Amino acid sequence: MKKFLLTITAIAGITFASQAQTEAGKTMIGGSIRFSTTSEKDSDEKENSFSIEPQIGYFVANNIAVGTRIGYGWSKDESGSGQETINNSFSVSPFGRIYQGGGPVKFFGQLSIPISWRKAKLNDDEVGTNSSYGVALSPGLAYFPTERIGIEFSVTGLYFNSTKHESDVFDNNWTRNDFGLNVNSQTPSIGVQFHF
């Protein structure tokens, strides 16, 4: 009888802890940092890039969060002929997320509105700008091994994106619209969110 009561108490504690991460008033924090460098052997061509995208969300109700991801990116390409291309980009992506399920594993759906701006310079002269906006509906799965950590697996899902490029230097102006469904289980996005 004692083992039975201990088992029931442990299950109740795990269930309560797993519900606590997504209850109203909680905050989740995450994001990404990327850095890469590439150089070709026997060549002066180099490419360096860096980006940072912190994300914060707030649970306005049980299992319902709203938030945003803000990003900055920088890249520099050096060609063998001495030309340098530098790109600076800024982005913001407000989102809403709904969780479903109980226990330490929950499914979620996220609706986001990504917006970004990018400027390109060639040898210190501005040569073009890009602006884009879109909408994405992404499914995912969150596993909560502890009360404060959520490990997430998600895919791109259904998306629309419109990009506008303007360049007075090269007289190269265009607009591109992308729409698609990308639910590839072989390339999920994996991340960690911290819940407070």
Q: Which of 139, 138, 100, 108 is nearest to 19 (CA)?
A: 100
> Residue 67 contacts by C-beta under 8 Å, 6 or more apart in sequence?
28, 55, 56, 57, 58, 94, 95, 97
Looking at residue 186, its pLDDT comes to 63
Residue 5 scores a pLDDT above 50: no
Kindly report the three-state secondary structure assignment for every residue of the chain.
CHHHHHHHHHHHHHHHHHHHCCCCCCEEEEEEEEEEEEECCCCCCEEEEEEEEEEEEEEEECCEEEEEEEEEEEEEEECCCCCEEEEEEEEEEEEEEEEECCCCEEEEEEEECCEEEEEEEECCEEEEEEEEEEEEEEEEEEECCCCCEEEEEECCEEEEEEEEEECCCCCCCEEEEEEEEECCCCCCEEEEEEEC
Q: How far apart are CA 21 and CA 64, in angstroms?
A: 11
Domains in the chain: boundaries? 2-39+51-74+90-195
Looking at residue 119, its pLDDT comes to 92
What is the average pLDDT across 14-42? 78
Looking at residue 9, its pLDDT comes to 40
Q: How far apart are CA 194 and CA 28, in angstroms?
A: 5
Q: Please state which CATH class domain 2-39+51-74+90-195 belongs to.
A: mainly beta
What is the per-residue pLDDT across 77-134, written as a single tens digit (0 to 9) for each?
887 677 888 899 999 999 999 999 888 999 999 999 999 999 988 887 788 899 999 9
Q: Are 128 and 165 in contact (CB under 8 A)?
A: yes
Residue 4 scores a pLDDT above 60: no
What is the per-residue pLDDT across 155-185, written as a single tens digit (0 to 9) for each?
888 999 999 988 877 777 889 999 998 876 6
Its pTM stands at 0.78
**b/e map 40-52, b = 16+ CB within 10 Å:** eeeeeeeeeeebe
Looking at residue 185, its pLDDT comes to 61
What is the per-residue pLDDT across 58-82, written as a single tens digit (0 to 9) for each?
999 999 999 999 999 999 988 767 7
Looking at residue 17, its pLDDT comes to 42
